[in-house]
Structure 1
Amino acid sequence: MATAKRALKPSVASDNPIPSSSPAFGTPVHPIPPRTTVPIRPPVFRPAAAPTTVLPIVLPPATLRPLAFRTFTKKHNLTLTSSALQALATFIGRHCGSGWREEGLAEKVLEEVAKAWKKCTTQVIVEGDGDTLKSILKTLEGSMTGGRITPGSGLSRQTSFNFSGDADRQESPGLGSRPNLDTHNSFGISGLEVQEKDEDEEILKDPREWMKIIGAFDQPKLEYNVSKKHFDKSTVKPTLFPPPTRKTDLFRQRYHIVHQRILRNETFQAPTFSAARSATLNRTGSVSTSQTNSITPIANLLGRSGSTHLLLGMLTISPTGALSLSDLTGTIALDLQHAQQIPADGSYFAPGMIVLVDGSYEEDHGNPAAGSSSSLGGTGGIGGTIGGKFIGFSVGHPPCERRSITLGGDTEAEKNNISGPAFGWTDFLGVGSERATGAKMSRIATNTLSPTSAHNIVIASDLHLDVPSTLSALRTLLRTYTPDPAEVDPIYPLAIILMGNFSSRATLAGVRGAGSIEYKEHFDALASVLSEFPQLLAHTSLVFVPGDHDAWPSAFSAGASTPLPRKPVPTLFTSRIKRAVAEANREIWGTGKAKGKEGEVIWTSNPSRLTWFGVKGEMAILRDDLVGRLRRNAIRFGKPGDADDDEMPDATMQAAGHEGMDTDPDLRPVPTSHNTSTNIIPDELDPDVSIARAITRTILSQGYLSPFPLSVRPLHWDYGHAMGLYPLPSVLVLADSEAPAFVVKFCGCAVLNPGSIVESGGRGRREGRARWVEFDIGKGVGVVRVEE
């Protein structure tokens, strides 16, 4: 074998250059050198790496919150609910383990979830209770190995820190280098500044497409969490037949919202050590600047007889008929014989309102039965009426809070302060939060609303269809906003809000001439009047808000106060009006309607909300006779001149009750006073102006549309949140036939009262003229219109 191998070796034969073809002999080397070839090595077999085992951990949601906030909110403009944060924390702790922070695994998972959410839905609120987030996490779970997303799984593999695209860049940023903020891709700055254009912006050029009507029964129910100091979405579906505990929750929520609003007021916040020290060392300043006010719970009055306190509670009537003050800890009898209201004759105080009372507590030692109604017996205790009485020196409403402060502050620094007390990330109406969509909606509003054109919302009230003069006044209103056909670019109102009562008498209550047939005929007559203006119907939105005399609640209330909120007028009576609007659209636009331009008719509840451009503007609409109800239940105080100088209220309550108020010039014969240190003298103001100021200050300070006991104004317990005014709306419509027509602005909120559409005589007015209110959403200005 060795010999054979040696024989196969090539050798050189110089005497015979011809190679031999026999393998048994030594074959000489070919005269041409052969090509050098590289031997092909067989592939080395390597066993597949075993998947990395991830040890699950329990990841608290609070630990994941900063990273989730930066990914979802700062980069993708999404709002993360507590349930969604809990689901993400459980998912990351189970699949990423202890490397969620050090290896950056959690950040990649959150990035993929945020992008998948934006592809699946257009909602800005990420909820963990729905099926969308569960399906996203389930899909992502099958694409992960060892806590990492598997490449080629079809998911996006971009991280939150994407530094690509700049060819002129000299160095790539590291952990310690600062990213180039000029590029839109660095740190998700495109999502933060909302630089990219939405497809809807190019399509929806009509401002009416950005308007939305939210009924009271469709408004989301939020509950204030005292321990966490934020609003939680109620997990219980509201119903018209709730358990009795919801009645207690109705008033408890009102108190919590007012209480937390007061504690954020600067006069109720304790200063820091440096602030108190600077106030003491400053000789030019007042020493009182370092003093703050504190609210004393009623239960803490026990054993403190003769001391002065500031109480916050609800005015109630005790079973004995005496006036009392109640909070969450107890009830105390009130003695307001020498008390003064703040401001003097500038607001209403009635049972059911939450007020601030400054005074002194006097314990009744000689009457052991004074606290017999207490749950603890003796002289009283927590949860019951304590003994003695509270002598009030001054009574005032809680200080009002502007909408800009509630949703983020007036200045840019306050809006960017995520640790502040504002609720900018809370979606109160289901149209998005201020911090998530406010910048984008402001940009859309600027591009959509022309600064030179009027964008009006027209409001008329008390449309009594059974009165002939009402239809004549309605024709005057519609004729005013119908442009000349010769105009090149006509301007139509964005919406025309027509409010009840649509009958001067209670419908279906057994009153002669007010049955269902007559009620249907009245709306048919209204449809005939609307059909005379097809151009207007095809370019605007008609909104109908019912009153107490409308069907169906008036059938059993006979015109008395019906429970609020109440549902729209039944479709049984409104079919002819819908047909008139559809015919107008067909006549003007034909079969091929342009999206966003055809007219529409909306039947909504009382009260209801109208929003434009998301959170850019909000209008709260209520049809109720508030002035008459306030006058019947108001508490009478002594005249300001009867009080001594020593018993005048402190500067805090005066400032809270005397904030500047702008009034419609047509309703005031004298200039509006903006002085916050002097009381309003009733004799120097027109009575109509005084009424407008009083009702405006009362409702906005209470932050509630119906601050009355349920015996005075019934409410559906589970839908009481729809009556809240927190945060303050941009516009509040209080359609009250007993109050004069006015336009007042207080704390940044414009309050409108159109009065009756048919102006009545008296006080220099001409009877029979049409009257309504129009509000320009672009300029934020309202005006009372009166036409022949």
Structure 2
Amino acid sequence: MANTIRRIEKPAPVPDPTPNPIPSSSPAFGTPVHPILPRRTAPIPAPPGLKAAPPALKPTILPILLPPATLRPLAFRTFTKKHNLTLTSSALQALAAFIGRHCGSGWREEGLAEHVLEEVAKSWKKGSGQVIVDGEGGSLKSILNAVEGSMSGGRIVQGRTSALSRQGSLNFGPEGSDQEIGNSRPGLGDSQNSFGISTLEVEDPKEEEDALKDPREWIKMIGAFDQPKMIYNINKKHFEKCNTKPSLFPPPSHKTELFRQRYHVVHQRILRNETFQTPTFSASRSSALARTSSLSTSQTNTITPIANLLGRSGSTHLLLGMLTISPTGTLSLSDLTGTIALDLQHARPIPEDGVYFAPGMIVLVDGTYEEDYNNPAAGSSSALGNTGGVGGTIGGKFVGFSVGHPPCERRSTTLGSTDQDPSHQSSTLTGPAFGWTDFLGLGSERATGARMSRLASRLLPSTSKHTIAIASDLHLDVPSTLSALRTLLSTYTPHPTDQNPSYPLAIILIGNFSSRATLAGVPGAGSIEYKEHFDALAAVLAEFPMLIARTSLVFVPGDNDAWSSAFSAGSAAPLPRKSVPALFTNRIRRVVAEANREIWGAGGAAKAGGEKGKGDGKRKEGEVIWTTNPTRLSWFGVKGEMVLFRDDIVSRLGRTAIRFGKPQQQDGDEEGPISSPPPPTVNEEDTQPMDLDLPSANPSSNVAEQLDPDTLTARALTRTLLSQSHLSPFPLSLRPLHWDYAHSLNLYPLPTALVVADRDAPPFVVRYCGCTVMNPGTIDETAGRGRGASGRARWVEFDVGTGRGAVRSEG
């Protein structure tokens, strides 16, 4: 007993302050292994052998000696081109010393110097109204001292200066620490880029006031090989960017995917049309039905897959598929489920004599299915027995009553942008479909559309014209073509006495630049002669230094131009095709560079020309761009887009188009052989006259009889291309394509303007569904369809501000 008492009174051992790696095995609510120590007021000293962790050290920067000449290009781009400020040598030396001391070796790779220069430029414009930044006074030194107090680790800390308060508002929470700011570069993040944030250097509305004054700074050229590839996901019903790098030698599966993507784009566009949607009786829908008494459920159309025709002989259906030629030579219709033979003996096109139908096009066919009972094996060879849902030819035939193109969709409907056509009051579709999709890599409509519209309205005032001149078939081996080019250039060269001279934003010259196939063994069309032709063009451009120093020259090749003409001999080369090699065009580049030095000088201010006004001396210099065929020209991001394409489409359509028989009785054939409602195979604008049509009191009347053949050709070509949403709706045997780059020929969303340089088509300008379609024709009227003396030029002039074009002829 005594031993027991003695054992209890023995004091408990002091617990080891180090953590016990073995957890306690005591049950719940049991006595813990380590008793609770009494509360202490004094801090617990560190155990012996352990030292306290040192405080976190601030990031240090190793200063470097930064020469002012090395910093000059970045400072010029930030101060002069972006903020219209002029740096003196003393200011540049002070900035170089400050950046080298506080930013160190990461001034270029990590973008530290760019943010310092941006903050100094903003502070200078806010505190001083002077245009020249001088380093002799105390203004620059005070600004650098303020910036130095807001820097940590070579970076400007958000929230420490009033100039950076806008960037601090992007944080989702309190002010970030120095470590967080050091790990993330200020600016647009990856999450914003995924929503189509524009790559143009406009960050907030306040910086828009300091943006560049020349509209040419906001014009971008996107070549066919640089355009991002967007793939339509049928499960998500949205476009996704393809992460696989395109190749000129893709696997054979990409050939099938090319046509599947074309079908998906047209199919999803049709299903969002109101005439193809089943009405729901919700509150908003029922009110719309009450206002529109003519709309009923009987007018709602449903597209039937071809594989679902089996067993439904004698029933009327509406099919969507691609016109193809079967191995037996008959005309067939194919979709993703199967193929069926077509009987268009009694079919009528919609509209009459106003559109082309050729193999390779995706069309809507309304008719009746007739099953072949004499050959039941043919009817069973369908897609129903295939697990993948894609099968062969369906037995029987489909007797068509009417054939039409899919309804066209406006650009404003697809992107949710503002329609520039005042005649268009409302769209049949509600809401933007792909407003957040960045189709060209310049930003989406929902992310940058409003910002770009404000810039366009300020830099493109309605009181002045901002034109783009477009000429095609510039045959440099023909002397009269160079005379016509002189006429075009002299038209846009103002007189030296003009107080407010106006220059075009761009002059686009489209091939063929030779009347014969180059490098194809044709006498007089070798490489030496081809280069001499461009040297002659450079001599003509040198006669107009005032013009070429203030505009952009864009060259689009044709099928007769190198290098593709070396193996195609001028025939249809695979599209897209690359630009003319620089080997033949070096002299033109030197002529433009010499004109810039003569007009603008080394300081960037105009020496001659009589230009006056604020900011006129800071305009963008002239440039020459050799681009692909096809190519795209955009202004102010998604504000406007022009597609440039050189191809003889009309002649190809004339050779391959389907010929429909003439009806025996005009009155009887209007209703069709079977009494059924006509399918909405065309847009509502197909029954209305275009801009070039003669006025008609009745929009549904046949105005085609009042038009000349050239106008009918222009109407048919315009409706065909825009309804197909593709520049080459032909089989690959007729117009070869590079499979992985065929997305550059898509016309979805609809561009603002489309230039189809076709030598066989008449010159025209047509505006349809908000898209201006133009064909400049041959620049030399003596070699084209027109008549005139030598040197008479013809081209198309497009106004960027109004979105309208016109055919011009001068001589």
Tell me the TM-score range normalised by the shorter chain.
Answer: 0.7 to 0.9
What is aligned with 1:140?
none
| Aligned mates of 2:418, 2:537 — CA distance in 1 | 45
| Aligned mates of 1:511, 1:771 — CA distance in 2 | 29
For residues 199-218 of structure 1, the C-alpha deviation after alignment (integer angstroms, 9 at most, x for no partner) is 36524110000000000000
1:150 Cα deviation (Å)? 9.5
What is aligned with 1:45?
43
What is aligned with 2:691?
663
1:373 Cα deviation (Å)? 6.4
Cα 1:597–1:223 shift into 2, 3 Å: same
For residues 482-511 of structure 1, the C-alpha deviation after alignment (integer angstroms, 9 at most, x for no partner) is 000011121000000000000000000111
What is aligned with 2:805?
782
1:637 corresponds, among 610, 635, 660, to 660
| Aligned mates of 1:762, 1:327 — CA distance in 2 | 41
Cα 1:767–1:352 shift into 2, 3 Å: farther
1:248 corresponds, among 256, 267, 287, to 256
| Aligned mates of 1:280, 1:375 — CA distance in 2 | 40
1:155 Cα deviation (Å)? 4.4
What is aligned with 2:105?
none
| Aligned mates of 1:247, 1:260 — CA distance in 2 | 21
Cα 1:524–1:272 shift into 2, 3 Å: same
| Structure 2 counterpart of 1:781, one-letter code | R
| Structure 2 counterpart of 1:530, one-letter code | L
Cα 1:215–1:403 shift into 2, 3 Å: same
The question of whether the paired residues in 1 share the 8 Å contact of 2:689 and 2:699 is answered with no
Cα 1:774–1:365 shift into 2, 3 Å: same
SS for the counterpart of 2:681 is helix
The question of whether the paired residues in 1 share the 8 Å contact of 2:796 and 2:808 is answered with yes
Cα 1:377–1:755 shift into 2, 3 Å: same
What is aligned with 2:165?
none
| Aligned mates of 1:471, 1:411 — CA distance in 2 | 39
SS for the counterpart of 2:396 is strand
What is aligned with 1:132?
none
| Aligned mates of 1:152, 1:756 — CA distance in 2 | 65
What is aligned with 1:646?
671
What is aligned with 2:477?
466
1:336 corresponds, among 336, 344, 349, to 344
| Aligned mates of 1:738, 1:697 — CA distance in 2 | 17
SS for the counterpart of 2:722 is helix
Q: Does residue 509 of the first structure (1) align with residue 520 of the second (2)?
A: yes
| Aligned mates of 2:395, 2:176 — CA distance in 1 | 74
The question of whether the paired residues in 2 share the 8 Å contact of 1:757 and 1:772 is answered with yes
| Structure 1 counterpart of 2:733, one-letter code | S
Cα 1:434–1:517 shift into 2, 3 Å: same
The question of whether the paired residues in 2 share the 8 Å contact of 1:654 and 1:676 is answered with no
Cα 1:372–1:639 shift into 2, 3 Å: same
Cα 1:749–1:673 shift into 2, 3 Å: farther
1:301 corresponds, among 286, 306, 309, to 309
Q: TM-score, normalised on structure 1? A: 0.72
Correspondence list, 1:530-679, <5 A: 530-593=541-604, 596-639=619-662, 641=665, 644-647=669-672, 650=678, 652-653=680-681, 655-656=683-684, 658-664=686-692, 671-673=694-696, 675-679=698-702
| Aligned mates of 2:405, 2:289 — CA distance in 1 | 33
What is aligned with 1:742?
764
What is aligned with 2:458?
447
The question of whether the paired residues in 2 share the 8 Å contact of 1:310 and 1:359 is answered with yes
Correspondence list, 1:97-108, <5 A: none
Cα 1:205–1:43 shift into 2, 3 Å: farther
Q: Does residue 717 of the first structure (1) align with residue 739 of the second (2)?
A: yes
1:197 Cα deviation (Å)? 3.2
What is aligned with 2:378?
370
2:721 corresponds, among 691, 699, 713, to 699
- Structure 1 gaps of 5+ residues are 1-41, 49-115, 123-135, 137-146, 158-193
1:454 Cα deviation (Å)? 0.8
1:446 Cα deviation (Å)? 1.0
| Aligned mates of 2:332, 2:534 — CA distance in 1 | 47
| Structure 1 counterpart of 2:736, one-letter code | P
What is aligned with 1:405?
413
Cα 1:266–1:148 shift into 2, 3 Å: closer
Cα 1:716–1:382 shift into 2, 3 Å: closer
1:365 Cα deviation (Å)? 0.6
| Structure 2 counterpart of 1:606, one-letter code | N
1:651 Cα deviation (Å)? 5.8
1:653 Cα deviation (Å)? 2.8
For residues 646-685 of structure 1, the C-alpha deviation after alignment (integer angstroms, 9 at most, x for no partner) is 3176162355572535334xxx6xx24585533443x321
The question of whether the paired residues in 1 share the 8 Å contact of 2:758 and 2:775 is answered with yes
Range that drifts further, 264-273 or 209-218: 264-273
Cα 1:293–1:372 shift into 2, 3 Å: closer
Q: Does residue 310 of the first structure (1) align with residue 332 of the second (2)?
A: no
1:482 corresponds, among 478, 493, 516, to 493
1:292 Cα deviation (Å)? 0.6
Cα 1:647–1:227 shift into 2, 3 Å: same
SS for the counterpart of 1:273 is coil
1:154 Cα deviation (Å)? 5.0
The question of whether the paired residues in 1 share the 8 Å contact of 2:381 and 2:393 is answered with yes
The question of whether the paired residues in 2 share the 8 Å contact of 1:660 and 1:674 is answered with no
SS for the counterpart of 1:390 is strand
The question of whether the paired residues in 1 share the 8 Å contact of 2:419 and 2:770 is answered with no
| Structure 2 counterpart of 1:503, one-letter code | S
Q: TM-score, normalised on structure 2? A: 0.70
The question of whether the paired residues in 2 share the 8 Å contact of 1:276 and 1:290 is answered with no
| Structure 1 counterpart of 2:401, one-letter code | F
The question of whether the paired residues in 2 share the 8 Å contact of 1:474 and 1:770 is answered with yes
Cα 1:630–1:284 shift into 2, 3 Å: closer
1:318 Cα deviation (Å)? 0.3
SS for the counterpart of 2:513 is coil
Q: Does residue 347 of the first structure (1) align with residue 355 of the second (2)?
A: yes
Cα 1:47–1:212 shift into 2, 3 Å: farther
What is aligned with 2:236?
228
SS for the counterpart of 2:671 is helix
SS for the counterpart of 1:387 is strand
The question of whether the paired residues in 1 share the 8 Å contact of 2:350 and 2:681 is answered with yes
1:637 Cα deviation (Å)? 0.8
| Structure 1 counterpart of 2:366, one-letter code | D
1:426 corresponds, among 425, 437, 446, to 437
Across the aligned residues of Structure 1 and Structure 2, the Cα RMSD in angstroms comes to 3.4
Identity, % of aligned positions: 69
- Structure 2 gaps of 5+ residues are 1-39, 47-111, 119-154, 156-171, 183-201, 606-617
| Structure 1 counterpart of 2:746, one-letter code | G
Correspondence list, 1:209-228, <5 A: 209-228=217-236
What is aligned with 2:503?
492
Cα 1:474–1:365 shift into 2, 3 Å: same
1:447 Cα deviation (Å)? 1.1
| Aligned mates of 1:227, 1:321 — CA distance in 2 | 36
1:462 Cα deviation (Å)? 0.2
1:786 Cα deviation (Å)? 0.3
Cα 1:259–1:535 shift into 2, 3 Å: same
What is aligned with 2:706?
684
The question of whether the paired residues in 1 share the 8 Å contact of 2:366 and 2:679 is answered with no
| Structure 1 counterpart of 2:635, one-letter code | W
The question of whether the paired residues in 2 share the 8 Å contact of 1:346 and 1:680 is answered with no
SS for the counterpart of 1:773 is strand
SS for the counterpart of 1:405 is helix
1:591 Cα deviation (Å)? 1.5
| Aligned mates of 2:726, 2:299 — CA distance in 1 | 30
1:533 Cα deviation (Å)? 0.2
For residues 176-224 of structure 1, the C-alpha deviation after alignment (integer angstroms, 9 at most, x for no partner) is xxxxxxxxxxxxxxxxxx9953536524110000000000000000100
The question of whether the paired residues in 1 share the 8 Å contact of 2:550 and 2:621 is answered with yes
Aligned pairs, how many?
610
1:754 corresponds, among 768, 771, 776, to 776
The question of whether the paired residues in 1 share the 8 Å contact of 2:689 and 2:703 is answered with no
What is aligned with 2:20?
none
1:729 corresponds, among 711, 728, 751, to 751
| Aligned mates of 1:449, 1:221 — CA distance in 2 | 31
